[in-house]
Amino acid sequence: MTFTVTAPDGLTITVPNGPVSIGSGVPGGQISGQLGPVTVSDQRAALTATWIATVVAATGGFTTGGGTPAETIPNTDVLYWSGAATATTGTGTFVPGQANAAAAQSIDTPRTAFSKTSGSGDNSATWDPTIVINVPASAVAGVYTGTVNHSVA
């Protein structure tokens, strides 16, 4: 007799529907707010079920108006910290990319948002990352928009 165990859904990541407003601030100040829950779901039923979720801001920074230099906040001024998981399922070790505000990293290049470093079988992790914007003193007033991308592999 034989039988097969299948893995129907694979490895996925879900993020909040945008746009997400994180607040307001003044030139030379700081704006900070939570992005909303990000969840990795691993339904691969793997013997070694590890993964790394990454975060990066889209090229071009965060802009308002015509996107001139005074209307752009560069990605180097956009920081991210994941904090601890708000929920996990399955076995293994779940590791935040940045455990607290002191560990926040700019997301001008891809950064580890969260990872699972050991364990097997189906699992999931959810976290509610904080975005911190260091508003340049030269920034003009306006509603700034940009994109934060999450991926998992």
HSE-CB for 73 with a 13 A CA cutoff: 30
Residue 9's pLDDT is: 77
pLDDT per position as a tens digit, 32-77: 999 999 999 999 999 999 999 999 999 999 999 999 999 999 999 9
Which tokens sit at 12? Answer: 């996925």
In whole angstroms, what separates CA 149 from the centre of its chain? 7
The pLDDT, as a whole number, for residue 73 is 97
Q: Is the pLDDT of residue 7 over 90?
A: no
Instruction: Give residue 25's pLDDT.
Output: 96
| C-alpha closest to that of 48 among 152, 114, 123, 121 | 121
Banded model confidence at residue 4, pLDDT cuts 50, 70, 90 = low
Work out the average pLDDT over 114-140: 97
Kindly report the average pLDDT of the chain as a whole number: 95
pLDDT beyond 80 at 3: no
| Angstrom distance (rounded) from CA 92 to CA 137 | 45
pLDDT at 6 over 80: no
pLDDT in the model for residue 1: 72
Burial class (CB in 10 A: 0-12, 13-18, 19+), 72: buried
Least confident of 5-14, 67-76, 121-130: 5-14
